[in-house]
């Protein structure tokens, strides 16, 4: 390969070892050590390691994602860079992947990867995942397709992928759509194109945005608290097509009346929210009240999108234009 792949390390299980004094895995492996554990990388292309952080992924924040995006963008601007790989913890991987998918301007590949088993466990999956991610990032056919999550030799679009199991190495999946391709022994194979990446390029982000998942009997308590706290945005995971309980609907309306944008998603694994039902709390009534329909992205990704979109505009109508679209 005529060019390099830049690997940004952020931490996660892939960079952890077992600490006998603590009795659990903790961040311990440096970026260069991660790469040294993958000798076959020498047969792919030159790899340059840049250590961004070494934190558990529950410690990842939108502000850190924004800083990471800036560093990745800068690396991709270098003429000899083929693409970028980010090693990450699995717990918030899909959120960072979607953040980068939305705001990276370059069409060069950005591949995120991780591990479900630390280096201290039997058969760690990190080294093979890193190898596959670097091969994908160096692949010319991967350009212009947005950010990927590369795990277990599968390539998933950041817009579609989610973590489905708390412990199984085959945890990342794209419900209803499946992977866009896979990493074979001799080459990268893409089997389908995902939708054209949507882009949002704010100068700054607004991260005071909160996600509420609804359950049977949900009332307006959490909404009233967030309204009184004067948060900048709320995302709601409703039932089915996006319908909500009467109590939750009351709280959502109060938020809108106080100038807080409310984005509606579904707690289901797939499907769009849609104005089909007209009862109290139905999506028809919600649209009339000014709630923004989020489309078919899940709650955590809708929050990421709202965080970025609020960096572009505070206007509800303009915010709505970012949602319910591919």
Look at 163 and 193; give whichever has higher pLDDT. Answer: 163
- Which of 190, 219, 247 corresponds to the end of one domain? 190
**Do 162 and 227 fall into the same domain?**
no
Q: Residue 247 has which token pair?
A: 């109590």
Given the residues 10, 13, 96, 113, select the one marked as catalytic. 13
pLDDT at 1 over 80: no
Q: How far is CA 249 from the centre of its chain?
A: 28
Residues 165-192, mean pLDDT to the nearest whole number: 96
Residues paired with 9 in a beta bridge: 51, 87
Residues 15 and 144 in one domain: yes
Residue 310, judged by CB atoms within 10 A of its CB (0-12, 13-18, 19+), counts as buried
pLDDT at 246: 98
- Whether 198 is in a domain gets the answer no
User: What percent of the chain stands above pLDDT 70?
Assistant: 99
Query: What distance in Å separates the CA atoms of residue 268 and residue 133, rounded to the nearest whole number?
Result: 29
Residue 326 has pLDDT above 70, yes or no: no
- Across the range 111-119, mean pLDDT stands at 95
Phi and psi at residue 26, to the nearest 5°: -140, 160
In whole angstroms, what is the distance from residue 133 CA to residue 52 CA? 17
pLDDT value, residue 205 = 98
Q: Are both 127 and 241 inside the same structural domain?
A: no
Domains held by the chain: number: 2
Can you tell me the distance from the alpha carbon of 129 to that of 9, in angstroms, rounded to the nearest whole number?
13
| Same domain membership, residue 257 and residue 218 | yes
Name the pTM for this structure.
0.96
What pLDDT does 325 receive? 83
183 and 40 in a common domain: yes
Specify if 91 maps to a domain. Answer: yes
For residue 272, is it within any domain?
yes
CATH number at residue 91: 3.40.50.1170
Distance CA 18, CA 289 (A): 52
Final residue before a domain boundary, out of 138, 158, 190: 190
Lowest mean pLDDT, pick from 167-171, 192-196, 299-303: 192-196
DSSP-assigned letters across all residues of 218-258? --SHHHHHHHHHT-SEEEEEEBTTTB--HHHHHHHHHHHHT
Residue 240 inside a domain? The answer is yes
Give residue 119's pLDDT: 82
- Same domain assignment for residues 149 and 111: yes
Report pLDDT digits (tens) over 202-223.
999 999 999 999 999 999 999 9
pLDDT of 194: 84
**Residue range of the domain that includes 309:** 209-320
**Per-residue pLDDT reduced to its tens digit, 55-91:** 999 999 999 999 999 999 999 999 999 999 999 999 9
Note if 13 is an active site residue.
yes
CATH of the domain at 288: 3.40.50.40
Decide if 24 is inside a domain: yes
Are 158 and 27 in the same domain?
A: yes
* pLDDT average, residue stretch 12-19: 90
Q: What pLDDT, in 10s, does the model give residues 222-276?
A: 999 999 999 999 999 999 999 999 999 999 999 999 999 999 999 999 999 999 9
Same domain? 93 vs 214: no
Mean pLDDT score of the chain, rounded to an integer? 96
Q: In 10 A of CB 167, how many CB atoms?
A: 8
Give me the mean pLDDT over the 86-107 stretch.
98
Query: Residue 195: which pLDDT band, with cuts at 50, 70 and 90?
Result: confident
């Amino acid at each position: 390969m005529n060019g390099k792949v830049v690997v940004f390390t952020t931490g996660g299980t892939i960079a952890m070892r077992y600490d006998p004094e603590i009795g659990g895995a903790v961040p311990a492996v440096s970026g260069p050590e991660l790469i040294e554990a993958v000798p076959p990388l020498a047969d792919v292309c030159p790899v340059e390691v840049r250590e961004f952080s070494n934190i558990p992924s529950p410690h990842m924040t939108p502000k850190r994602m924004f800083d990471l995006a800036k560093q990745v963008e800068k690396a991709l601007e270098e003429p000899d860079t083929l693409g970028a790989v980010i090693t990450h913890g699995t717990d918030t991987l899909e959120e960072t992947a979607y953040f980068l998918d939305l705001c990276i301007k370059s069409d060069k590949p950005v591949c995120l990867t991780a591990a479900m088993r630390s280096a201290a466990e039997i058969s760690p999956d990190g080294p093979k995942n890193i190898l596959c991610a670097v091969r994908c990032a160096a692949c010319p056919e991967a350009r212009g397709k947005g950010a990927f999550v590369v795990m277990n030799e599968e390539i998933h679009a950041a817009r579609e992928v989610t973590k489905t199991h708390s412990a199984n190495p085959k945890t990342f999946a794209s419900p209803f759509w499946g992977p866009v391709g896979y990493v074979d022994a001799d080459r990268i194979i893409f089997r389908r194109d995902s939708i054209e990446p949507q882009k949002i390029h704010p100068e700054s982000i607004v991260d005071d945005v909160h996600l509420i998942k609804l359950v049977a009997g949900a009332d307006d308590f959490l909404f009233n608290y967030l309204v009184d706290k004067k948060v900048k945005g709320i995302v709601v995971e409703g039932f089915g097509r996006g319908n909500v309980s009467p109590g939750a609907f009351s709280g959502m309306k109060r938020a809108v009346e106080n100038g807080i944008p409310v984005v509606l998603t579904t707690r289901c694994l797939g499907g769009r929210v849609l104005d089909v039902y007209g009862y109290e709390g139905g999506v028809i009534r919600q649209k009339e009240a000014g709630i923004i329909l989020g489309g078919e992205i899940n709650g955590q990704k809708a929050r990421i999108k709202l965080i970025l979109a609020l960096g572009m505009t505070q206007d509800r109508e303009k915010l709505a234009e970012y949602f319910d679209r591919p």
